[in-house]
Structure 1
């Protein structure tokens, strides 16, 4: 028969890492005995609303006799602290000795290749996947087997028991458990917690044991093997680590190394501290904090949460009341966020559980308090009334925290999938404000009979939602698209069969950008794919690629997004490289070659190349270069209602009409204004370019053969040539003709010559867009000039010239700006800021430039630029309540997320906690971390300004960052 303590431990046992959904809370497995609200449980109702349940520490004593030869220096330090009362050594001596050992251990770490943990985890998962060989492509089972989501593991180890007055059994100590600090579970959070000897000593009136606790291994790789021979009996303490997912960014750069510096010491002896060692850098008291002198708890480590030294656990007995109190004290601007703009006291006093709220701890600073707000908000949204929260969640290294949130939380919340349940919500449109737009609607391609049947059955089964299911015509014209602008709808995407039953379908999962952009967007999907693959999430990547193939085959192009008003508009083409990234990932993880998938994707890319980008009106017959030149008529309906008021005002005055009246008559063709027609042609072209809006393109976009578009098409040509030659024996049948690599090599060589002829400016050492109407280069200096590096268009010599003479024009404090200040000109009332101009920086430009630099062997510059960009993101994340936004001000050193241009910044309007980030910005953080080394990751974790970081480097370090 189990006693109450054993029952409580059994009920409160966490699930294993493979059974816990990372998006569900692992924190509150309460039963009748462990429920803190139950007065009969071992958790009493305490005086404070929020209390800390501190981890009781193991009594440290000398055990050199039983040390393993391969024990780490940290372990030696932990087990070599001698009780002052028993051995006569003072506490300062113990502290200095322990710190010496710890610092020696940390110094000995060496870098490890990025992604080794991810590769190992993926390979292990794949070996367990019993999937059939590829006949066509991966089926659903295969994809889910490969969908290995990684998360950071820079976290404390957590005990299985929440009762500090109960001793853990050896079984409980070694059991795999999970952090109680957040509703996002991690797979590697464990903590051994043995208090039997300490509790016994306290009850007999002895002095309280030392709370001294050495920091855990900052890289999470050192293994502990403790054997204690002091106290009240020889009790082995084993701390085991179960198999974990991919390492956090801070942990992926170091390998564990055993320290044997003291292996030759005599038994039961303690070496003296290192002479001259500076002990002033760390000063942790060995005794527990007194009630009269509250201990300040704050983050202060480059590699890990400082609370791992002596991590506490908070019991929040009333989440609603705690949230209310926190916001009342700290959220002075009342936006449901705690930021550096708030003027509250920035301190929360919490009492410990062991002292019944008597001993007090101060939690200070914007970062920790905002993290508390985020954790409480998530718990409240899960319907929790109470929660247990580990202190390590509040002062977690910001790099590890953001990495963890992106990989386990943000991607999840940005993923969409059409199902019988989700379509009713997804089909609604929030951008259009007409009567017809109030009802959910989906448009089906003319040839997709089974999809029409599927959605019609859903509509019939849910008549209260009034889902409209409509066919598109076989030939989609500009006039038709304009005619349905008042009744917008979602466009059907690719589906797969759930069974052999006709009409039993489901959509592929895909990722949306976030904010007001709740559909699958064109070039966003490429960068999201790069980010997803970097953390081993495959299925949405395949889904987005399948959707692009479907769009080309059914709508004629890769769409701006899958809404009806985007039917005439495309976006920058990335399909070939996106397909190859997915294809290479699958080959590396499975040793299988999905040739059918590769063939279907590249045949769709050839169709898009021929019919969209190299056909009128997008192909210029004179230069043979391509332009952004979409179809469509009238005013783009998805824009803000007042977006074009300044442009339309003269015409409204001319016809004596209101804005609404003029827009209606102009869209209906009752008013003809050729100049206005041309303006909206260029406006739609700007939106097709993805750079909406910018003075670089405004009013002339359809006349520009842009550097970025023609570099992307050059990449199409080289990719198609490579795939035909490598995988299809130099022969690919398409549309009753044979495609060969020689044809596409010639097309690529011709385009390269045209880019150099029309776009390269020797005097300026820069590539410029070419205006086909006036037949001269545009004077606007754009960062898209560096697309030539990503597509490998230019020679190494020209690449060096470009970097030497022009990179400095775009490199600012926080990365690469979209264009130069000189090109933008003065901003004022008559010329407002545009979001794709100076001083704003965007993730796609950073990512493509980083990869382009690495193509030409300039990893040093890529590392420097990556640090600048990631610093902006980390600074905003730390100072502004975990914010991750669509774009940043690259010149702002304090508030880079604040963008006063056009519609503001997507991702900044959340309440309490950011749940999505922004698609390609999330990806940029994961990709950028891969470019950094250990030094820069540590500096980033300390939120070190690029100015300070680069200035304090020695010459050898500067060389690694291209700072000669």
Structure 2
């Protein structure tokens, strides 16, 4: 089915099947602030008026952007003009997130349960001049500087909402993502206009899976058009693609198989990191700036922004080559999407569609196991398109084929052995073995990757290692909570464990996916009403 047909089908289904969603699709998605407010936007970001460049990207202009920019052009020629004063007078800046202080003695689970309302937002109506995009139903944000919903974060948040019995909220958020597929033809990185040019790792099929544990096959039937629309988005450009070529997010491998990569429709500095990207591109004079920008944006689509996974030289962000890498986690997720479409089509009585997607899933599994498996080293690895070889380093992404049932038992066993030897630390699972200062590298461990590891290892009978990963990470979360009264975005899991560091911004509190994974791990690994027997200080 063509992309246009998939989108039309999804749009029609959304309008017919979800009448409670008051918002209606528009014909032209809004432009981001770096386009709407230029050249004022660029001047403000270059002036570094705010420590975090996302602040101005999230600001609300107090008047129509065209008139506002014209007023700035006039005012800047006047004696005594001050850019900071002008911005303060003509924009409403986002406020600081309120700090939630838990009651004394509150357990980790109780703290997370009381956090959900503090992280819930409802924005069916938004200011059309700002960057925030509307969503018809309430949603949970990560917290801190992340004032909007994020795509792949939300799956792990949903795990926690499900653990809390908040199935109505789970359904609301899945409906929101389905609505975005109807509205835009894909799920954006987040509900901001500056995120519309990219998506994030495709977790929608896993969200439908989760909801189906509560609602049964009706969930698969309800979201079949949107599942197909997501697949069409990721596969757009595959028709007629020659062997060894790539177009948008699709790569035709030399053997003729189809796999995928991360991409972004724009090749300019990220709106929320404008001058950072300018500086990064300036450090790579041998490369076209537009290519550096595209690779930075593709790295943001991966969710691993940033990591040595994407770098030619691990210590140099300017060597980023995301679009030249075929990632193992992305292709495992797309395998799951194809299997889920097949299941949903079968539940809907569309047998021919089901057979087509089963065939696609089979072909993708074979390609993953042929091209993204490193037989010599014994683990799954991203593939370097330029060199035609696996990337050499082991990363936590190697566990996605276990989590999503791509691996054979022998491959799972070898991967588990490598992970235990290289990535397991006293505080949980390392993201990579490289310590580069990037946040998706050592010494950090991230909640979503702990869940992927625990659930994936258990699927292949590696229960002892799975328990070590999960309990060690829970212990880290508990210690930070007891010391600081909060959960955070990422954690240091080797050496002196605690809140994580590195990357482009300070450590954020909240935190959506850490909350969700902590609850899911408590459910999975700890007896109800008691502490984990081998975790010591982790309360159920």
Q: Give the TM-score normalised by the residue count of structure 2.
A: 0.73
C-alpha change, 1:730 and 1:796, in structure 2 (3 Å) is: farther
Q: Secondary structure at the match of 1:922?
A: helix
**2:326 and 2:385 in contact (8 A); partners too:** yes
C-alpha change, 1:583 and 1:840, in structure 2 (3 Å) is: same
**2:531 and 2:538 in contact (8 A); partners too:** no
Of 509, 516, 523 in structure 2, the residue corresponding to residue 930 of structure 1 is 523
How far residue 586 of structure 1 moved from its aligned partner, in angstroms, is 2.8
Q: Secondary structure at the match of 1:786?
A: helix
Q: Secondary structure at the match of 1:884?
A: coil
Q: What residue number does 2:377 align with? A: 764
Of 877, 884, 897 in structure 1, the residue corresponding to residue 481 of structure 2 is 877
**Aligned mates of 1:898, 1:768 — CA distance in 2:** 25
Q: Secondary structure at the match of 1:620?
A: strand
Of 128, 133, 156 in structure 2, the residue corresponding to residue 491 of structure 1 is 133
Q: Secondary structure at the match of 2:174?
A: helix
Q: What residue number does 1:836 align with? A: 440
Give CA-to-partner distance per residue, 1:1-54, whole Å, 9 cap, x none: xxxxxxxxxxxxxxxxxxxxxxxxxxxxxxxxxxxxxxxxxxxxxxxxxxxxxx
**2:281 and 2:293 in contact (8 A); partners too:** no
How far residue 932 of structure 1 moved from its aligned partner, in angstroms, is 2.0
How far residue 782 of structure 1 moved from its aligned partner, in angstroms, is 1.1
How far residue 860 of structure 1 moved from its aligned partner, in angstroms, is 3.0
Of 704, 714, 730 in structure 1, the residue corresponding to residue 335 of structure 2 is 714
C-alpha change, 1:794 and 1:809, in structure 2 (3 Å) is: same
If each structure's helix is expressed as a fraction of its own residues, which one has the higher value? 2
| Pair 1:729-2:349 in alignment | yes
Map 1:418-817 → 2, pairs under 5 A: 418=123, 423=125, 427=126, 441-442=127-128, 468=129, 488-493=130-135, 507-587=136-216, 595=218, 598-615=220-237, 616-622=247-253, 623-639=257-273, 641-642=275-276, 644-648=278-282, 675-698=288-311, 699-725=320-346, 727-731=347-351, 739-817=352-430
**Aligned mates of 2:205, 2:391 — CA distance in 1:** 29
C-alpha change, 1:898 and 1:742, in structure 2 (3 Å) is: closer
How far residue 807 of structure 1 moved from its aligned partner, in angstroms, is 2.9
Q: What residue number does 2:462 align with? A: 858
Q: What residue number does 2:111 align with? A: 405
Give CA-to-partner distance per residue, 1:388-422, whole Å, 9 cap, x none: xxxxx64x3xxx61100111x21111111125xxx
How far residue 137 of structure 1 moved from its aligned partner, in angstroms, is 7.3
| Pair 1:414-2:119 in alignment | yes
Q: What residue number does 1:5 align with? A: none
Map 1:281-430 → 2, pairs under 5 A: 394=104, 396=105, 401-407=107-113, 409-418=114-123, 423=125, 427=126
Map 1:254-273 → 2, pairs under 5 A: none
**1:490 and 1:563 in contact (8 A); partners too:** yes
Please list every run of 5 or more consecutive structure 1 residues that lacks an aligned counterpart in the other structure. 1-134, 141-373, 379-392, 428-440, 443-467, 469-487, 494-506, 588-592, 652-672, 732-738, 828-832, 908-916, 945-964
**Aligned mates of 2:390, 2:236 — CA distance in 1:** 21
How far residue 943 of structure 1 moved from its aligned partner, in angstroms, is 6.0
How far residue 799 of structure 1 moved from its aligned partner, in angstroms, is 1.1
Map 1:127-146 → 2, pairs under 5 A: none
Q: What residue number does 1:820 align with? A: 433
Give CA-to-partner distance per residue, 1:185-243, whole Å, 9 cap, x none: xxxxxxxxxxxxxxxxxxxxxxxxxxxxxxxxxxxxxxxxxxxxxxxxxxxxxxxxxxx
Give CA-to-partner distance per residue, 1:511-534, whole Å, 9 cap, x none: 111111111111011111111011
**1:867 and 1:936 in contact (8 A); partners too:** no
**Aligned mates of 1:637, 1:753 — CA distance in 2:** 38
Of 450, 453, 458 in structure 2, the residue corresponding to residue 849 of structure 1 is 453
**1:620 and 1:772 in contact (8 A); partners too:** no
**Aligned mates of 2:324, 2:295 — CA distance in 1:** 8
**2:475 and 2:537 in contact (8 A); partners too:** no
Q: Secondary structure at the match of 1:625?
A: strand
Give CA-to-partner distance per residue, 1:631-658, whole Å, 9 cap, x none: 113111111644643543687xxxxxxx
**Aligned mates of 1:890, 1:626 — CA distance in 2:** 31
**Aligned mates of 2:326, 2:120 — CA distance in 1:** 35
How far residue 136 of structure 1 moved from its aligned partner, in angstroms, is 5.7
**2:472 and 2:535 in contact (8 A); partners too:** no
C-alpha change, 1:599 and 1:941, in structure 2 (3 Å) is: same
Query: Higher relative contact order by CA 8 Å / sep ≥ 6: 1 or 2?
Result: 2
Give CA-to-partner distance per residue, 1:859-891, whole Å, 9 cap, x none: 3322221110011111111122x1211000111
Give CA-to-partner distance per residue, 1:307-354, whole Å, 9 cap, x none: xxxxxxxxxxxxxxxxxxxxxxxxxxxxxxxxxxxxxxxxxxxxxxxx
**2:416 and 2:462 in contact (8 A); partners too:** no
Q: What residue number does 1:302 align with? A: none
How far residue 813 of structure 1 moved from its aligned partner, in angstroms, is 0.9
Q: RMSD of the TM alignment (CA)?
A: 2.6
**2:221 and 2:345 in contact (8 A); partners too:** no
**Aligned mates of 1:548, 1:613 — CA distance in 2:** 19
**Aligned mates of 2:180, 2:471 — CA distance in 1:** 37
**Aligned mates of 2:277, 2:433 — CA distance in 1:** 25
**1:870 and 1:925 in contact (8 A); partners too:** yes
Worse-superposed segment, 833-842 or 601-610: 601-610
Give CA-to-partner distance per residue, 1:775-802, whole Å, 9 cap, x none: 2211232110000111100111221122
**1:490 and 1:562 in contact (8 A); partners too:** yes
**Aligned mates of 1:761, 1:642 — CA distance in 2:** 35
Give CA-to-partner distance per residue, 1:477-504, whole Å, 9 cap, x none: xxxxxxxxxxx522233xxxxxxxxxxx
How far residue 678 of structure 1 moved from its aligned partner, in angstroms, is 0.9
Q: Secondary structure at the match of 1:764?
A: coil
Count of residues paired in the alignment: 425
C-alpha change, 1:403 and 1:870, in structure 2 (3 Å) is: same
Q: Give the TM-score normalised by the residue count of structure 1.
A: 0.42
**2:427 and 2:476 in contact (8 A); partners too:** yes
**Aligned mates of 2:402, 2:439 — CA distance in 1:** 24
**Aligned mates of 1:696, 1:805 — CA distance in 2:** 17
